[in-house]
Amino acid sequence: MASRSNGTSKAFTIVELLIVIVVIGILAAITIVAFNGVQNRARIAGLQSSLSGSLRQIEIARTSAGTNTYPTTTPTDLASGTTYYSSATLGGYCASRTDGTLTYMITSTNTTPHVGPTCSATNLTNLITNPSIETATTGWTGAANSAIVRTTTYSSNGTASLQATRTTSAGNGYISTPMTTIVGKKYAASFDVRQVSGGSTLTATVKNTSATGTVPADAVAVTVTPTATFTRYTVIWTAENVASYLVIDSTNTASVYVIDSVMATEGENSSTYVDPLVSGSGWTWTGTANITTSTGPAF
């Protein structure tokens, strides 16, 4: 009588199949992330290369005109898709290109291709609603141990500035002002600061949601030691909340300092404050002066 083989074949269990599926999913996700990173870097390189070429064409157009001024109309040799804005009154220019969600720009004051909004007469917005404290301290807050007043004794622009005094060593000694930001956008905030009396060591940073909130992941705190002359400092960050706060904290009791000419913009930030109150500056208030944002070109 013939005998039947007792051999059996092993099949995958449900658990093993699920493990295989999970591993494949993880590998696919890693591949997609890596591909997106490479693609993003390629797009940035393309924008930078194109704008570097635009810079050469703009300079050629300027010198060819024989007037040493930037052309007020778009140079014909700029790559298709380049947005160009110039002002004969202000004497500067801005050129930008967009690829997907990325926008890079160059300006007459910053010719290195960098992240920024699309160029126009009002492509920059100063998010600080009371940047030079000309009439009141509206929009600025002093913590429990930091007293703030408007002073006309010192100013780097206009006739006034914000004076802050740390009254005691206990608790918080910061001043702050809010900004409305877009999550994921890169911003820069700059301000002038001067020592009045005492010895101040200040820390300038940006926080999410409130003056006591968390610090954005890429924000680097700036340590400031004010002197008897106004000096400008800049804080850069990527917004993680629609509400961002510029916070300047003092660690020294009885220290008195003033700040002025505060500017916070997306992507681009001028090392020199532009005053919307000055006729011909190219900047205008979006509402009532000294309590609203202001807009202007990136040069």
Model confidence band, residue 10 (pLDDT cutoffs 50, 70, 90): low
**Per-residue confidence (pLDDT) for residue 37, from 0 to 100:** 66
Model confidence band, residue 30 (pLDDT cutoffs 50, 70, 90): confident
Model confidence band, residue 1 (pLDDT cutoffs 50, 70, 90): very low
Same domain, residue pair 133 and 177? yes
Please give the tally of structural domains in the chain.
Answer: 2
Cross-strand bridge partners of residue 117: none
Same domain, residue pair 65 and 178? no
Same domain, residue pair 92 and 67? yes
Q: Is 156 a member of any domain? A: yes
Q: Is 7 a member of any domain? A: no
Determine the residue type at 13: T
Q: Is 39 a member of any domain? A: no
Same domain, residue pair 231 and 290? yes
Inter-residue contact 261 to 192 (CB < 8 Å): yes
Of the three residues 58, 86, 120, the one that is the final residue of a domain is 120
Between the alpha carbon of residue 226 and those of residues 9, 33, 169, the distances in Å are 80, 44, 19
For residues 297 and 145, what is the distance between their CA atoms, to the nearest angstrom? 38
What's the pLDDT tens digit per position in 211-267? 999 999 999 899 999 999 999 999 999 999 999 999 999 888 888 999 999 999 987
Same domain, residue pair 259 and 134? yes
